[in-house]
Amino acid sequence: MKSHQTAQTMKPATAAKKLGVYLEATPAEFREGVVSRAELNALQADPPEWLRELRRDGPHPRPVVAAKLGISNSGLARGGITEPLTTAQIEALKAENPEWLQKERATQAEVRKEAARIRERNAGRDEQSAQPRS
């Protein structure tokens, strides 16, 4: 008896998210089909020109915009940014450095500092629990 392994497929929105690109900016043939795991791996390993261009120039989806600005997705929303931005728009926003962006970057820095403190605390606990008791 042969076991048939079907190709794992995903919706274009899922594939776009995994590729870090804005779905609406992808070619129609990408948006209208399904993407197999093998196709996704091929796109990641050897991206076609349209994918390289989207990653370089945008428009970028919200998580990518937030990462490029060094803030959270929530911070992006609090700053009133709801639409995808191009790389040029992101660079212009960085250069302008509005007050809300400064505040969100400071908030994000505090969040990272607290996460590092908790990791260190937990690592200390793990070391203590690993030591044999006498």
Q: What is the mean pLDDT of residues 98-122?
A: 91
* Radius of gyration for the chain, computed over Cα atoms and rounded to the nearest angstrom: 21
| Confidence (pTM) | 0.73
Q: What is the pLDDT of residue 132?
A: 66
Q: What is the mean pLDDT of residues 38-51?
A: 91
Residues with Cβ within 8 Å of 13's Cβ and at least 6 positions away in sequence, in order, are 23
- CB 85, CB 65: distance < 8 Å: yes
Number of neighbours of residue 15 by Cβ within 10 angstroms: 24
Four-residue CA torsion sign, 54, 57, 58, 59: negative
Q: What is the pLDDT of residue 4?
A: 54
CA gap 44, 51 in Å, rounded:
9
Confidence of residue 1 (pLDDT cuts 50, 70, 90): very low
At residue 34, what are phi and psi to the nearest 5 degrees?
A: -115, 155
Q: Look at residue 102 and tell me whether its pLDDT is greater than 80.
A: yes
Residue 58's nearest CA partner among 98, 92, 106, 102 is: 92
Q: Look at residue 69 and tell me whether its pLDDT is greater than 80.
A: yes
